[in-house]
Amino acid sequence: MAKGFEDIVGYCQKMGLEVTRLDGSAQVVIVSAPDRAIHQMVIDCEGALLIFEQPIYQIKNAGGPHFKRLLQINRELVHGAFVMDGSGNWILFRDTLELENLDFNEFEGSINALSLGLAEFSSELLALNRG
């Protein structure tokens, strides 16, 4: 059975994520969970996909070593990746799952992967952006 927006909102509530914005027409939910390093994460039901995007930082140091290290860090992440947004100004955490057979464990795994990645690499990410 295909999952829908209501299921995703339910998963957010089950995880104890604070829903800061809910847009049923766009099928977007924005959540925060300070204890998990989540602040204004966008969870978007985009057709057959569920997309997670968490802004991490505005890019101040756009040098090659910065981006090389981000690619190396991506290899260590359980789910998702650190990516640059379309404007080229922000580093985001992004993960994409298929909605059709999504279950709570997969949803929770993506959220936990972000928290784990930030716990493990936050100091290094900040240092990379300083140059």
Domains of the chain: 5-130 (3.30.1460.10)
- Looking at residue 60, its pLDDT comes to 94
pTM exceeding 0.85: yes
- The tokens for 117 are 């990645």
Q: Which residues contact 49 (CB under 8 A, 6 or more apart)?
A: 96, 97, 98, 99
- Looking at residue 32, its pLDDT comes to 96
Measured over the CA atoms of residue 98, residue 104, residue 109 and residue 111, the dihedral's sign is positive
pLDDT greater than 60 at residue 100:
yes
Tally of residues, the chain? 131
List beta partners, residue 21.
Answer: 30
